[in-house]
Structure 1
Amino acid sequence: MIRFLAALCTAASLFIASPAAAYWEYGHGLVARIALNEVRPETRAAILALLAEGDRLETDECPIDTVELASIWADCIKGMPDRYGYASPWHYQNVNICKPFDLGPPCEGGNCVAAQVERNARLLADKSLPTSVRVEALAFLLHFVGDLHQPMHAGDMADRGGNAVDAHYGLIPETNLHAIWDGYLAERSFTTPPGGPEGIVTGYSRAELDGFKAGDVVDWSREMWTVSKDYAYPLLLDADPCDAEVERPVLSQADIETLIPVMRVSAVKGGMRLARLLDEALIDGTAPRFRRF
């Protein structure tokens, strides 16, 4: 496992990904690196100082030596269910796209990604807490903002975020809608030139990038839910997603070309918003107030 993560670290630094795990590893690392490039210098120094304390988490098989590795720590620890099984529902919220947008039911008890983005921002901002708590909060925050900006973690049709929707991705058979967005489509979108954390932001003006930082987790959740509703399901099914019965549909090349800019801008928004949260928590000492969704 350690050898695998060392290889992953090298791959993340080069931003090379395999389609099967492109968003889980490559996409999360991309969002986190966009944020690290965007934050204030003093925020960057604070992030690196906390990452240097990663041994305090005592998760040797899931190190957080780099921002890329830290961004996938929350997925890595799924292999430690006795310690971290409680965190499994925190990666998604799956608001039904066929009903009015409502975070209340999926966020009951704070068990959704939006609630956990805010919770971990608050923990990170509280300098009275033990360093280990703040290091863990940083790792969770780096990951969960990425999850929030993967639309299949935000909207679904009571099908486990598209995991139960069998599909073809072009000529690739035997996959599902969630895997397409987590893997094949993510890899294609983030490597399409100009790719990587620097290249992917070049298509946006400074005013646009700053504008992406506006809003809060409810706004961002609704936005990604809308992407799921307006793009992910309709393009795959070629029909109204709430009134369609299609067996193993095919996402065509034309559909993929339509979705690439949608996925790219979602990742850029995630990076900008993560940067804002990190600046606020680590330097300004501010974070979202506790709320009930």
Structure 2
Amino acid sequence: MQPDLFMKKRTILSAGLAFAALGLISWGFKGHRAVATIAQNHLNASVAYVASAYLKGEQMEAVSTWADENRDPKTAPWHYINLPLGLSRDAFVKAVQESDNNVYTAILKTEATLKDVNASDEAKNEAMKYLIHLVGDAHQPMHVSRKEDKGGNTIQVRFDNKGTNLHSLWDSKLIDKEGLGQEDIVKTYDTATPAEIKKWQSDSPFEWLWESYQITTELYANAKPGQNIDDVYYQKYIPVIHKRIDQAGIRLAGELNRLLAGQKVKAVTVSAPPAVQGVPTNKTADATPTAVKLEEIKNYVGKTVTVSGKVFSSRDIGSMILVNLGAAYPNQLLTLALKGDAKALGTQLDGKTITITGQVIDYKGNPEIIVTSQQQVKVQ
């Protein structure tokens, strides 16, 4: 074989192996979209606008898996960090500080780009997409794991009568077992209290990784090749996944609120309001609000409308406040899901007639409008 041909084949093989590795090192689709959606729910209004500008109008959840789909061999190591087991906290911090080209250094790199006033729009766009993804990766325990088993990828187990591996189990299999749709995952996971939000957002990326390392240490201690993952295991660890995804979303919001505060951007046209419950963005939705009657609201799913009605009841479920127009639950004609800045309205709307502007979505057969800004609501 000619030397140059050999080198070409070797290069292709190396790239292929890197691409294959990328497919094995991430929260699943549902997990990453949940992290991004939770973060979107907790962004300050001004920061949400800046984030949207840097993403060129794309929603955070829509770009949350871009870093995996991009499949760049040069950034494949950005998704994880390999460390030996048994490190003390001090030794752990030292090992992370002395390592390079991993999830920790990648997070620092993307954050530096977002703070850099001289960075180009393209650089900020890429940094945003990587940061949204990598904060999620840092909270997936098997991303802070051992090199020798490729983060649990070579530890074969059985789950739901099927073969899988420890890494894949934590990426998606345990989440899929719940059987929740994307919007229900966000409602179920986004439950942090104000005290938890304050604490989590004060933690540094070192703390995020240390938490994952501690969980991974326990998982490795209990992992046996070929073991059957039973319901006891599932019931023990699904709450851990809930918390890790919630923490990732809350912390991502905290990082963006800090990094993007006060930044000035060019005007941006957003194709549709944020699909904050995981509902796919309807790119053909009308951008200009259409005035409609409340009784006819169910005929305008996917449209941006302005509608008025009386508030009959409301309920705070932690991650959002649900407001029912036209009648009390479960006979309401329209539900408003107040999130972000709009949550400050709280239960102040009970008994009042209001006018709301937003995109109508279908949530389990019922019309709903996601409200993320108080400017969308006018009290008559």
Q: Are residue 140 (structure 1) and residue 130 (structure 2) matched?
A: yes
Name which of 47, 50, 65 aligns with 1:46: 50
Report Cα offsets for 1:228-256 as digits up to 9, x if no partner.
112x2344x3xxxxxxxx43112111111
Name which of 161, 166, 169 aligns with 1:177: 166
Instruction: Supply the distance in 2 between the matched residues of 1:43 and 1:193 (Cα, whole angstroms).
Output: 24
Displacement, 1:226?
A: 0.5
Q: Which residue of 2 is the match for residue 12 of structure 1?
A: none
Tell whether the 8 Å contact from 2:96 to 2:104 is kept in structure 1 after alignment: no
- Give TM-score scaled by structure 1 length: 0.74
Instruction: Supply the distance in 1 between the matched residues of 2:249 and 2:82 (Cα, whole angstroms).
Output: 21
| Structure 1 unaligned residues grouped into runs of 5+ | 1-19, 54-64, 79-83, 238-245, 286-293
Root mean square deviation, CA, Å: 2.6
Please tell me whether Structure 1 or Structure 2 has the larger radius of gyration of its CA atoms.
2
Name the structure where helix makes up a greater proportion of residues: 1
Name which of 72, 92, 106 aligns with 1:116: 106
- CA 1:93–1:190 in structure 2 vs 1: closer, same or farther (change >3 Å)? farther
Tell whether the 8 Å contact from 2:153 to 2:166 is kept in structure 1 after alignment: yes
SS for the counterpart of 2:260 is: helix
Name the structure where strand makes up a greater proportion of residues: 2
- CA 1:190–1:141 in structure 2 vs 1: closer, same or farther (change >3 Å)? farther
Displacement, 1:189?
A: 5.5
Larger relative contact order (C-alpha < 8 A, sep ≥ 6)? 1
| Structure 2 unaligned residues grouped into runs of 5+ | 1-23, 264-380
Displacement, 1:222?
A: 0.6
- Give TM-score scaled by structure 2 length: 0.58
Equivalent residue pairs, number: 238
Please show how residues 44-123 of structure 1 align to structure 2 within 5 Å: 44-52=48-56, 65-78=58-71, 84-100=72-88, 101-102=91-92, 110-123=100-113
Report Cα offsets for 1:107-157 as digits up to 9, x if no partner.
656311011112111111212211100111000000000000000001236
Q: Which residue of 2 is the match for residue 223 of structure 1?
A: 211
- CA 1:77–1:103 in structure 2 vs 1: closer, same or farther (change >3 Å)? farther
Instruction: Supply the distance in 2 between the matched residues of 1:189 and 1:267 (Cα, whole angstroms).
Output: 15
- CA 1:154–1:146 in structure 2 vs 1: closer, same or farther (change >3 Å)? same
Please show how residues 137-286 of structure 1 align to structure 2 within 5 Å: 137-156=127-146, 158-172=148-162, 174-188=163-177, 191=180, 195-202=184-191, 204-230=192-218, 232-235=219-222, 237=223, 246-283=224-261
Tell whether the 8 Å contact from 1:200 to 1:264 is kept in structure 2 after alignment: yes
- CA 1:160–1:21 in structure 2 vs 1: closer, same or farther (change >3 Å)? closer
Q: Are residue 129 (structure 1) and residue 119 (structure 2) matched?
A: yes
Letter of the aligned partner of 1:161 in structure 2? G
Please show how residues 11-22 of structure 1 align to structure 2 within 5 Å: none
Instruction: Supply the distance in 2 between the matched residues of 1:190 and 1:30 (Cα, whole angstroms).
Output: 14
- CA 1:22–1:111 in structure 2 vs 1: closer, same or farther (change >3 Å)? closer
Identity, in percent, stands at: 26
SS for the counterpart of 1:102 is: helix
- CA 1:187–1:135 in structure 2 vs 1: closer, same or farther (change >3 Å)? same
Letter of the aligned partner of 1:38 in structure 2? H
- CA 1:219–1:205 in structure 2 vs 1: closer, same or farther (change >3 Å)? same
